[in-house]
Amino acid sequence: MLDAYRERDWDVIVIGTGVGGGSAARRLAEAGLSVLMLEKGPDLAGTDKAEIETMQTDPAARLDAGMWPYPLEARIDGRESQLHGMLGSCVGGTSTFYAATLERPEPHDLDDSPQRPHPTGGWPLSYAEMTPYFDEAEKNYLISGETDPLSAVPSPALRAARPVTDVDAALRRAFEKAGLHPYQTHIAAAFPPDCQQCFGRRCLRPCKMDGRSAGVQPALRTGNAQLLDRCNVTRIEADRRVTRIHCQRAGQDFTLSARHYVLAGGGLASPSLLLRSASESWPTGIGNRHDLVGRNLMFHLSEMLAIWPGRGARSDAPSRALSLRDLYHVQGQRFGLIQSMGIDAGYGEVLYALNQMFEQSSLRRLRPLRHGLRLLPYGILPILGPAKIFVGVLEDLPYSENRVLCDPAQPDRLRFEYQLHDELLHRRAAFRKEMKSAFRAHRRIFFSQMPTLNFAHPCGTLRFGDDARKSVLDRDCRVHGIENLIVADSSFMPTSNGCNPSLTIAANAYRVTDRLIDRIRHTA
Contacts with ligand FAD by CB under 6 A lie at 15-21, 38-41, 86-90, 93-95, 97-102, 200, 232-233, 264-267, 269, 273, 456-457, 489-490, 500-502, 505
Report in angstroms how near the CB of residue 90 gets to ligand FAD at its nearest.
6
DSSP state of 484: T
Q: How far is the CB of 502 from ligand FAD (least distance, A)?
A: 3
Closest CA to 12 of 2, 29, 508, 4: 29
Residues 27 and 236 sit within 8 Å (Cβ to Cβ): no
Shortest reach from residue 184's CB to ligand FAD, in Å: 14
Question: In sequence order, what are the residues at sequence separation of 6 or more whose Cβ sits closer than 8 angstroms to the Cβ of residue 397?
Answer: 119, 298, 334, 421, 423, 424, 495, 496
Helix (H) or strand (E) segment spanning residue 445: strand 444-446
Measuring CA to CA, which residue among 73, 80, 67 is closest to residue 404? 73
Helix (H) or strand (E) holding 20: helix 19-30
The 3-state secondary structure of 134-157, one letter per residue: HHHHHHHCCEECCCCCCCCCCCCC
CB of 147 vs ligand FAD, minimal distance in Å: 18
- What is the identity of the amino acid at 129? E
Return all residues near 218 (Cβ < 8 A) that are at least 6 apart: 26, 29, 30, 140
* Comparison of 275 and 351: residue with beta carbon closer to ligand FAD: 275
In the bound complex, what is the minimum distance in angstroms from residue 385's beta carbon to ligand FAD? Answer: 25
- Residue number, 292 or 503, with CB nearest to ligand FAD: 503
Q: How far is CA 88 from CA 91, 260, 269, 388, 469, in A?
A: 9, 25, 11, 27, 32
Which lies closer to ligand FAD via its Cβ, residue 271 or residue 309? Answer: 271
Given the complex with ligand FAD, which of 170 and 485 has the nearer CB atom?
Answer: 485
CB nearer to ligand FAD: pick between 308 and 416:
416
Q: For the CB of residue 23, give the shortest distance to ligand FAD in the complex, in Å.
A: 8
Q: What angle do helix axes 127-140 and 19-30 make, rounded to 10 degrees? A: 90
Q: Length of the chain, please?
A: 524
Least distance from C-beta 379 to ligand FAD, angstroms? 32
Shortest distance, position 235 Cβ to ligand FAD, whole Å:
9
Closer residue to ligand FAD (CB): 342 or 385: 342
Cβ contacts of residue 490 below 8 Å, gap of 6+?
A: 20, 266, 267, 457, 458, 459, 460, 501, 505
Nearer to ligand FAD, 159 or 443 (CB): 159
Beta-strand ranges (E) seen in 164-251 are: 182-184, 187-188, 225-228, 232-238, 242-249
Choose between 203 and 313: whose C-beta lies nearer to ligand FAD: 203
> Contact at 8 Å (CB) between 369 and 357?
no
Closest approach of ligand FAD to the CB of residue 84, in Å: 11
CB of 24 within 8 A of CB of 512?
A: yes
Alpha helices in 127-231 (DSSP H): 127-140, 166-177, 217-221
Indicate the residue among 90 and 387 with the shorter CB distance to ligand FAD: 90
Q: Which is nearer to ligand FAD, 68 or 127 (CB)?
A: 68
Q: How far is the CB of 459 from ligand FAD (least distance, A)?
A: 7
Shortest CA distance to 404 belongs to which of 261, 285, 283, 232? 285
